[in-house]
Amino acid sequence: MAKPKFSLTPNPTFKAKVGIPVPGEGAALVEFTFKGRTREQLKELLDDKEGLKIDAVMQMVSGWELDDPFDKEHVEKLLDNYLGAFDAIQDTYLRELTEARTKN
């Protein structure tokens, strides 16, 4: 497998599979398109204590592979119907950002 080309300016987005916990079925893998962030931008996102989970997802993610459109209404539906979805999304986002930084 070829190594990714290194650049001081990372891609503005990246894709990763998120295991959304489905009660009684385990995790369903859904590919999300995440927004890249600098260290300072990530700090600002994590320091936003007054933001709602739905707003945090909208700031982290720019799309998904679901048939439903990626918008605030459908993100809210996801978070309402699958209680572990927010933690799964945020954990994957942070892991991908930090692992990418470690690997580079």
The pLDDT-based confidence of 83 (bands split at 50, 70, 90) is: very high
DSSP 70: -
Furthest CA-CA distance within the chain: 44
Q: By mean pLDDT, which of 18-27, 81-90, 93-102 is the weakest?
A: 93-102
Q: What is the pLDDT of residues 6-65, one digit of tens each?
A: 888 888 999 999 999 999 999 999 999 999 999 999 999 888 877 799 999 999 999 999
The closest of 2, 4, 59 to 32, measured between CA atoms, is 59
> What is the structure's pLDDT at 34?
98
Give the torsion through C-alpha atoms of 75, 46, 48, 29, to 10 deg: 10
pTM listed for this prediction: 0.87
